[in-house]
Amino acid sequence: MRNPLALVAGAAECLPEARALADELKIPCLDCVDPVDIAEPAYVLQLGAQLQLCATGRKAPGPVLVDFVGGTLAHRRKYGGGKGQQIAKAVGIRGGFGPRVVDATAGLGRDAFVLASLGCAVHMLERNTVVRALLRDGLERLRRAASEDPTLAEIAARMTLEERPISALDWLAQQPANSIPVVYLDPMFPARDKSAKVKKEMAAFHQLVGSDEDADALLAPAYAACYYRVVVKRPRVAPFLAGKKPALSLQGKSGRFDIYTKHGIPT
């Protein structure tokens, strides 16, 4: 079976780092090739000024990358509603209190960044090695930008990434009971049908990661490890995780936050 993914360098000076990363990820390195000129594989990681996941071919959509500095996350940090956002209410942010959060299914780190920007220390877990590499690259660029921006420096200091190749299920099972203030779960949910709308740029990401078929198994160890609550982000019509009804749910237009409480949040 052909490898569904390869790595390319965006410039000659990036080649040594690109080859080292390809060895780490156990995928082939095609050296300096433009993704538009590649017929196979269907997707490549391109390492240049940033690491990005690209579909190949001349009609490919734009790349997927982790950008904590600009784009939509910069806009949300400035104008997203602050502590009035549903995610803030779901994890229990109030006044000067921002609980430490373990984001056990971090993905591209967007919710982790929002929580860190609202004052929470966030530790991210991501079992997919390629997605974890994208996260690591995004964090490195955030920290470089933070050297010139005190606001970003505060956010960067609150974000950490688990580098061990360990699943969230195993990591949570290793934690002492009641040791994590809040565990946050946002498992990848399978599309309900072939007409489900997914942005073209995200098609590569969804194909790479797939759905989290073992997501139900996360709830029990997450609840055992948490002190205050487990927060589960779900599509609006999705069933409860593991079939367990939460203590409360916060409904939105397209999604909801299911909250499994253990101890009360400080007032």
Q: What is the pLDDT of residues 125-161, one digit of tens each?
A: 999 999 999 999 999 999 999 999 998 999 999 999 9
C-beta of residue 29 within 8 angstroms of C-beta of residue 38: no
- ω into 41 cis (within 30 of 0): yes
pLDDT of residue 191: 52
| CATH code, domain with 173 | 3.40.50.150
pLDDT tens digit string along 197-242?
456 666 667 777 776 778 999 999 999 999 999 999 999 989 999 9
Are 14 and 103 found together in one domain?
Answer: no
Alpha helices in the chain, H assignment, sequence order: 15-25, 71-79, 86-91, 110-117, 129-146, 150-158, 168-173, 200-209, 219-225
Are 131 and 41 found together in one domain?
Answer: no
pLDDT of residue 80: 66
Does the annotation flag 127 for ligand binding?
yes
In a domain, 65, yes or no: no
In the chain, the number of structural domains is 2
Are 114 and 191 found together in one domain?
Answer: yes
In a domain, 152, yes or no: yes
- Its domain, for residue 26, covers 5-55
In a domain, 62, yes or no: no
C-alpha span between 188 and 174 (Å, rounded): 23
How much is the pTM?
A: 0.91
Are 104 and 224 found together in one domain?
Answer: yes
pLDDT of residue 79: 65
Are 51 and 160 found together in one domain?
Answer: no
pLDDT of residue 193: 46
Are 99 and 134 found together in one domain?
Answer: yes
Are 99 and 216 found together in one domain?
Answer: yes
Are 20 and 142 found together in one domain?
Answer: no
Are 76 and 34 found together in one domain?
Answer: no
Q: Which of 31, 55, 79 is the last residue of a domain?
A: 55
pLDDT tens digit string along 170-188?
999 999 999 999 999 999 8
Does the annotation flag 110 for ligand binding?
yes
Are 121 and 49 found together in one domain?
Answer: no
In a domain, 213, yes or no: yes
In a domain, 64, yes or no: no
Does the annotation flag 126 for ligand binding?
yes
Are 164 and 35 found together in one domain?
Answer: no
Are 42 and 101 found together in one domain?
Answer: no
Percent of the chain at pLDDT > 90 equals 74
pLDDT tens digit string along 66-118?
999 988 887 777 766 678 899 999 999 998 899 999 999 999 999 999 999 99
Going by pLDDT thresholds of 50, 70 and 90, the confidence category of residue 2 is low
In a domain, 66, yes or no: no
Going by pLDDT thresholds of 50, 70 and 90, the confidence category of residue 196 is very low
